[in-house]
A = this chain, B = another copy of it.
Amino acid sequence: MTDPTCKACQYSWPKVDHFIADLGLSKAYLHEDQFFPGWTVVVFKRHATELFHLAPTERIQLMEEVNLVAKTLAQVYEARKINYELLGNQLPHIHWHVIPRLAGDPAPLEPVWRVQHEPMLRSGSDLQSTVQPLQQAIQNASGITNRRAPH
């Protein structure tokens, strides 16, 4: 269920202070680079690398969890479009990038990967002021009352 060589299984990524919510089969974290505001990653809890490796019930639940995050980000950020990406080229452990594309997007027609930029890292109160509204919005949307530590 876990892979000792996988940084998602070993909880070294994403960072714990970026935790947003435990969704059931997955956990949502704010992406470390907030150049695109609201970029969130949804990390499957157990080690798996492809959707077709999951049991159908797992796959369905995971996608409903991704959908909940997407809907919440669209509302909180008034997004023009959501990008949903499961790549795994560098870290095969299933994690979805859920990226709200906003009205002020610097390259609205392009995938985020084509937009060269300096990473916008957040920490401390700046990070918390981004994470907390998302925690609250997902809690409201899902009825999640579990606020325990993420790991």
Binding site for B on A (CB under 8 A): 49-52, 56, 59-60, 63-64, 66-67, 70-71, 74, 81-90, 92, 101, 108-111, 113-114
**Chain A binding surface, main DSSP class:** mixed
A117→B36 CA distance, assembly (Å): 26
User: Among the listed B49, B60, B71, which residue makes an inter-chain contact with A60, where contact means beta carbons less than 8 Å apart?
Assistant: B60
Please list 30 pairs of residues, one from A and one from B, whose beta carbons are closer than 8 Å in the complex, sorted by A's number.
Answer: A50-B70, A50-B74, A50-B82, A51-B63, A51-B66, A51-B70, A51-B82, A51-B84, A52-B67, A52-B71, A59-B67, A60-B60, A60-B64, A63-B63, A81-B87, A81-B89, A83-B87, A83-B88, A84-B85, A84-B86, A84-B87, A85-B86, A85-B111, A87-B111, A89-B108, A89-B111, A110-B113, A111-B111, A113-B114, A114-B114
